[in-house]
């Protein structure tokens, strides 16, 4: 049992360290920059994402140990989600998409604080549709879409929606 506790503590430390590393390296804009003239007009209204739930992972297989996953729901008003690694802690976030990145304000799981975090968006080819708009699917750099959303994913997302 002691071994299991040590492994859990190590995995929790690892996810926090990975998040801190990414925050230090990835370029980002403050989420409160709506009034900043440099960022006005650069938002694409959640990059024209349709209302719904999206799951991306470092693996296309759901719930793979050692891989990071990003689950979020887009509504007309908000983009709320969760960053997690299976069998570890998770972090809630509120976000938005801009021209070239998914910007997030992440709730630190162990402290009463928030941190900016961003993931670059990759160029994608537009998809033709019968509607008046041509939409380009969202592709997060280093992540692939995951088809299966399980009950634990939904539970974590519901927890995050209560926070934001």
How many structural domains does the chain have?
1
Tens of pLDDT, residue by residue over 107-138, are 998 888 999 999 999 876 655 555 544 445 68
Task: Tell me: pLDDT of 142 over 90.
Answer: yes
148/2 Cα distance (integer angstroms): 33
Tens of pLDDT, residue by residue over 38-89, are 333 334 345 567 899 999 999 999 999 999 999 999 998 899 999 999 999 9
Domain that holds residue 134: 2-163
- Better-predicted residue by pLDDT, 65 or 5: 65
- Name the least confident of 8-17, 56-65, 101-110, 150-159: 8-17
Question: Can you tell me whether residue 134 is helix, strand or coil?
Answer: coil
**Rg for the chain, CA atoms, rounded:** 16
- Name the least confident of 5-14, 82-91, 143-152: 5-14
115/134 Cα distance (integer angstroms): 34
CB 104 within 8 A of CB 91: no
pLDDT recorded at residue 50: 87
Question: Can you tell me whether residue 140 is helix, strand or coil?
Answer: strand
pLDDT recorded at residue 109: 86
């Amino acid at each position: 049992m002691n071994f299991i506790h040590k492994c859990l503590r190590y995995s929790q430390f690892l996810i926090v360290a990975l998040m801190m590393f990414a925050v230090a390296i990835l370029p980002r804009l403050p989420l409160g920059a709506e009034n900043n003239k440099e960022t006005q007009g650069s938002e694409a209204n959640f990059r024209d994402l349709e209302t719904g739930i999206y799951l991306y992972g470092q693996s296309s297989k759901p719930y793979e140990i050692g891989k990071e996953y990003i689950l979020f729901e887009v509504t007309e008003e908000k983009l709320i989600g969760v960053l997690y690694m299976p069998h570890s802690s998770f972090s809630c976030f509120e976000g938005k998409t801009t021209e070239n990145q998914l910007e997030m304000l992440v709730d630190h799981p162990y402290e009463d604080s928030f941190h900016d975090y961003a993931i670059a968006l990759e160029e994608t080819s537009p998809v033709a549709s019968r509607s008046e708009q041509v939409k380009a699917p969202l592709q997060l750099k280093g992540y692939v879409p995951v088809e299966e959303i399980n009950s634990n994913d939904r539970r974590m997302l519901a927890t995050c929606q209560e926070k934001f």
